[in-house]
Amino acid sequence: MPKTINGRQFQWQLLEQIGKGDAGEVLRVQAQPGSLTALMKRPVQNASGGTILRQAVQIENEGQILASLNGLDASRNGLQVHTPLLLDQSIPGTTRTASLFIVSEEVSGVAISNLLKQRLQEDVSLSHVLVLRVLSGLFLLLERVHERGIAWNDVKMEHIFWDEANGKLSFIDWGNGLFLSAHPSTNGQDPAWLDYQQFISEGNLLLNQIAPGLIAELDWPPSATDITKEDLTQLQLRTEYLLSSLSMRVVDYQVLFRKQVRSIHNVDELGALLELKNSLESLGVPVEKDASLQAIQQLAIGYAQNKDFTALEGLLALIRQHLPAELGDVWKIAEYLLALKDARQNPIFAELLIMVLSADWAGALWLLEGIRERANNPTRLSALQTQMRNAAGVPNAYITPIYHQLIPLQDEAHLQLIHHHAKNNQSDALTAELERFSAQLDALLAGWQQLGPGEMLGDKLLTLRGLLRSPAISLLPFPRELPKALSLLLNKLREFFAAWSDGDLEACRHIVQELFLLEPSMPYLQQLDAGICALQSWVEKLSNGPEPGQTLTRFAEELLSAKPTVAASLSQPVWLGRLYTCADALQRATDLEALRAQAQQENWPIPWIEYAYISIEVPRELGATMKLNADQRAALQNFHHALQTDQDTAQALQEVRAALPQFYGLYRALAQAFETVYSMLPLQAPTFELSTFPQQDRTNV
């Protein structure tokens, strides 16, 4: 097939074949130069001579009709009808040959026949309004083409395209068309009457498939045998009236639906919404299913939050009645939980329902595990956890926890070891490997459900990965899915430690729950989560700083006494080491200005360090026991002299700082209080205890 073909107006590049049949082949083409794309129709190139001649005659006829129609456009009541524009044709001399072609506009939209197929294959509704638009559009089209002296003579749904965005019907394939002037009436029947015969027949098929209830309303005739022009006029009027009426009804319903879906407050309002949904669907109008499901979900969550379980049961009954196809895992598990009347008194029942209704399966599973020790029916709890793991989409390969896959492997290793010992193969290398493998597997499973002292998260999985590489595996029936499940868990652990290294503690907690969803045989993850939660609180406390009236020293002591230990099982990342260093520095600080400078240099997350009320506590015993030397006495004397003579105390304070760094903060606060003693501004005056100053200077203070 040549890459390009010359036409009378353009040179056309052949892009792809999009159709081929008894009337020829259709190709998508592009004008050269330029970006105009169109459709080329020509005879099938490898057909017999007679077929090529027949197809060429028909295609040439279509070109003449399209040229005469010249891209007909007409509209009525907001509905547009359109025929393709002829863009080009083959050069003269190609008549009745394989080289003949026409190029026409590629119309927008989807063929009505394809919409009908989609409805059958995918259970997609087709609007009754669209059916009436097709019928009304056909009336308008036939009226206008007959005025131009043309009969279509090929009324079929595959030749009608609907462009919903532009409200336009396009009509293609005019090869069977007739020029009325060349085909006079025979037996008193106008050739244009063929169009109405085909139209009535196709309309019948369409109505019976999509909207049989409209046949009676339209009084659509079963055939065109005895129909008159007056009958057609009346049928057209009924069709256009019903289209207008039904369109307005659909718009009203849609507006009401959008309004109601945003304000559902109870089961009665939900029932009204679902009835409205049914009315729209009965007209073949698709509804905003996602919006309605979201509204239903929010209403259900609200009932769960308010512990109105009776109303929630009524809501589920409505879903079962009106939306049976949407009764998925969320609603089935919620129904199951509501059926457990004895469980409703449990403090976590409402919270669990909320997580289920939110499809937070990892959170729901986590919550259930937290009450396992207090559960009256642990078997039921385990079954519910399995349902939730299935609902969460845990792949079948991982649905059996690793721990439960290892138990049969452990038993088989014991049996194989007994078998080898019975055959006196103790000195065999493979027996030694089997002994080592069995012992290591026993130890691994014995401690599988807890983290031992000094053990890090993930150590067990790494140990298992090493065990699976043992030569002894060749003697055992190896669980086929075990390596996949182990690989998935290790990947999830890498995600966790990446978040841990970045200090994203909320992400860490979320990933821990996902780990438990994949491997519910690791209950120690609950303790790890509690440790991470404690660390979050500790970091938040550090970031908030001391309360007014609390000294920095006391605040730091509280922090250090409650320092979380979760890092012992997770490693200590750089960011956490910096925070611990910060807390230590706060507790040891004796010079507030030096501490502020250090905080800025180290970029510690403690902006509150600059607040005026921050103060360092000097131990009382230090002031009582300290003996001042000559330099210290001189520095204090200069400080008091500067105060008494109303001089700048900055230099004197620097001397105090050099000689008595532990007391610098006290004397600096004393100088600031002295300077503002007569201020009219509502300042918070610092409180001083004389006993905190050096014993030998208290009289001066």
pLDDT, tens digit, 9 for 90 and up, residues 259-284: 777 777 888 877 888 887 777 776 76
pLDDT digits (tens, 9 = 90+) for 358-375: 999 988 888 888 777 666
Please state, in angstroms and rounded to a whole number, the distance separating the CA atoms of residues 416 and 632.
83
Average pLDDT value for residue range 186-195: 76
Per-residue confidence (pLDDT) for residue 288, from 0 to 100 = 72
CB-based contact 118:124 (threshold 8 Å): yes
Three-state DSSP state, 228 = coil
Q: For domain 4-104, give the CATH number.
A: 3.30.200.20
> Shortest CA distance to 102 belongs to which of 39, 46, 18?
39
Highest mean pLDDT (candidates 73-82, 188-197, 424-433): 73-82
Q: In 392-523, where does DSSP find H-type helix?
A: 402-422, 429-446, 459-467, 482-502, 505-518
Per-residue confidence (pLDDT) for residue 184, from 0 to 100 = 73
Per-residue confidence (pLDDT) for residue 657, from 0 to 100 = 80
Per-residue confidence (pLDDT) for residue 682, from 0 to 100 = 64
Q: In 123-173, where does DSSP find H-type helix?
A: 128-147
The DSSP annotation for 632-673 comes to: HHHHHHHHHHHHHTT---HHHHHHHHHH-GGGHHHHHHHHHH
Per-residue confidence (pLDDT) for residue 78, from 0 to 100 = 86
Per-residue confidence (pLDDT) for residue 368, from 0 to 100 = 83
Q: CA 367 → CA 348, 355, 404, distances in Å?
A: 8, 9, 22
Please state, in angstroms and rounded to a whole number, the distance separating the CA atoms of residues 221 and 198.
12
Least confident range of 328-337, 595-604, 677-686: 677-686
CB-based contact 164:127 (threshold 8 Å): no
Q: Is the pLDDT of residue 418 over 60?
A: yes
Least confident range of 176-185, 232-241, 248-257: 248-257
pLDDT digits (tens, 9 = 90+) for 523-556: 899 999 999 999 999 999 999 999 887 889 899 9
pLDDT digits (tens, 9 = 90+) for 299-322: 899 989 999 999 999 989 888 888
What are the φ/ψ torsions at residue 578 (nearest 5 degrees)? -65, -40
Identity of residue 216:
A
Mean pLDDT, the chain, whole residue set: 87
Per-residue confidence (pLDDT) for residue 692, from 0 to 100 = 79
Q: Is the pLDDT of residue 244 over 80?
A: yes
Average pLDDT value for residue range 617-621: 67
pLDDT above 70 as % of the chain: 95
Q: Which tokens belong to 392?
A: 């969460």
**Residue 237: count of CB within 10 angstroms of its CB:** 11
Categorize the per-residue pLDDT at 673 as very low, low, confident or very high, splitting at 50, 70 and 90: confident
| Residue 32, strand partner residues | 11
Per-residue confidence (pLDDT) for residue 251, from 0 to 100 = 80
Per-residue confidence (pLDDT) for residue 91, from 0 to 100 = 95
Per-residue confidence (pLDDT) for residue 655, from 0 to 100 = 85
Least confident range of 144-148, 223-227, 600-604: 223-227
**Residue 139: count of CB within 10 angstroms of its CB:** 21
Q: Is the pLDDT of residue 188 over 60?
A: no
CB-based contact 673:686 (threshold 8 Å): yes
Structurally, at CATH architecture level, domain 112-250 sits in Orthogonal Bundle (1.10)
Categorize the per-residue pLDDT at 182 as very low, low, confident or very high, splitting at 50, 70 and 90: confident
pLDDT digits (tens, 9 = 90+) for 387-411: 888 888 888 777 888 999 999 999 9
> Shortest CA distance to 236 belongs to which of 372, 141, 162?
141
Categorize the per-residue pLDDT at 135 as very low, low, confident or very high, splitting at 50, 70 and 90: very high
Per-residue confidence (pLDDT) for residue 644, from 0 to 100 = 87
Please state, in angstroms and rounded to a whole number, the distance separating the CA atoms of residues 473 and 489.
21
Cα(first)–Cα(last) distance of the chain, in Å?
Answer: 107
| Cα 382 to the center of its chain, rounded Å | 29
Domain ranges of the chain: 4-104, 112-250, 288-393, 402-522, 536-610, 620-697
Per-residue confidence (pLDDT) for residue 623, from 0 to 100 = 63
